[in-house]
Amino acid sequence: MKRLLLLSAVVISIVAPTPGFAKGNHAPPTYSASLFAGSVSSYLQTRTGVVSIAVYDHLTHKTWALLPAKLNHAASVSKVDIMAAYLHQLQVKKQSLTAANLTRLTQMIEYSDNADAAYFYRLIGVCQGLTTFNAMIPLTATTPVCPHGDIYGWGIMNTTVLDQLRVVKLFSTKNSILTAASRKLGLSLMEHISAGDTWGVSTGPQKGSTVAFKNGWSPLTSTSDWQINSIGWIRGSGRNYDIAVMSSGDPSFAYGVATIGQTAQLIWDILTKNK
């Protein structure tokens, strides 16, 4: 409760920024896979499943990507996108975040609550609303799905690691879509993920680092075919980077978690060698 009260003091600025990232962020990007050519590539060759990775280094402004066009089910990492859309909606409507919805946001991000994700998905206009918001960023390969029957919709939308990197960047980098207060709130929630979900890109960073992240997972065609995802912003020990790792075709949940964890560890280990 004490932390919720502190978070409520960060409530959203009523000034709605102009859509799009700040000037300079629209330069045509170039993507190299050189970061993954050594230990990461060697490790992934020993693993079952297809792993896509994207990393943006805030210190060098370099972006690396492996299989950047590979489409993956977003699963629960889509909750960060939903949170961003909702916070932006508050800004546009010049509304404050209520205590009740702060609690719901906390449950959605820190505890990955699906019912709360469905609640915010409805508030932002479900697939149509998220599609409109994503076009502002822009996300070029993410396709929101409308709820139908018992299917939430947000979890099965297709996305890429590059699009997920852009979502993380909404919170890690000053931009004209989210205010500083919105970004601070989102990062705070992502820095306090529940103890049971502290795997994924949070695996590598040393103690004392800032790690804001969100994981997602879902069986695909069967319980022996899993989608495992992890996205986040990491700063510490001379590093400052955004990362998205998405793995499909994993034979089990634990297997996919291990793959992403070791991949994240290797990237943490080698980043300072690629300045």
Domain range list for the chain:
32-274
Question: CA 50 to CA 48: how far, in whole Å?
Answer: 7
Question: CA 259 to CA 228: how far, in whole Å?
Answer: 9
Spatial contact of 78 and 216, defined as CB atoms under 8 Å apart: yes
What is the pLDDT, as a whole number, of residue 137?
Answer: 98
Residue type, 205: P
Please, what are the averages of pLDDT over each run of 10 residues along the chain (275 residues)? 48 42 48 92 97 96 95 97 98 98 98 97 97 98 90 92 98 98 98 94 91 97 95 96 98 98 96 66
What is the pLDDT, as a whole number, of residue 151?
Answer: 79
Looking at 3.40.710.10, 3.40.50.300, 1.20.1090.10, 3.30.565.10, the CATH number of the domain 32-274 comes to 3.40.710.10
How many other C-beta atoms can be found within 10 angstroms of the C-beta atom of residue 125? 15
